[in-house]
Amino acid sequence: MTHECEQVVQARGHEHVSAEHASTFELTSDDWLTPAGDCILAVEADRTPADFDEAFVTACQDADAHITVTFEAAGVEDVVEGRGHPDLTFADDRSLVGRTSDYVDERTVLINANKAAADLDRKLVTALARGAPLTVTFRVD
């Protein structure tokens, strides 16, 4: 069940998932991925930032917002924590990006993340590289 402080995205891994990027992670609604996409964790995301509930987006636009992202695939779970920002628009209709920096663009869904793709549990990454389904839960407090 999704409520206004939580949004869930379903996606799937891909053979080219490497999760080697040191400052971002990304989910895309595209159904393809090239080896160059080293921040992308999954493809075919069923929701993009533009689909997120307005109340959730508003909560994330608070500079003091604490955003938790839980990744779960093949029984492996990893959690990333970051924060919101007043300039987050959640306008992109193709992909969403979490950043360890404070850079914000239309794809950004959280900043100052404590982990990027390269920091995620390698068992999770291996499952995604094998095409495992991924459930990503975004929660804002």
* 109-121 per-position pLDDT tens digit: 999 999 999 999 9
pLDDT in the model for residue 2: 47
Taken in order of first residue, the domains within the chain and their CATH numbers are 6-140 (2.60.120.630)
* CB under 8 A, 24+ apart: contacts of 55-59: 55/4, 55/5, 56/4, 56/5, 56/6, 56/7, 56/138, 56/140, 57/88, 57/90, 59/4, 59/5, 59/84, 59/140
Q: What is the pLDDT of residues 72-131, one digit of tens each?
A: 999 999 999 999 999 999 999 999 999 999 999 999 999 999 999 999 999 999 999 999
**Contact yes or no for 56/6 (Cβ under 8 A):** yes
Other CB atoms within a 10 A radius of the CB of residue 135 amount to: 14
CA gap 44, 18 in Å, rounded? 17
CA gap 78, 70 in Å, rounded? 6
pLDDT in the model for residue 97: 98
* Residue the block writes with tokens 């393809």: 32
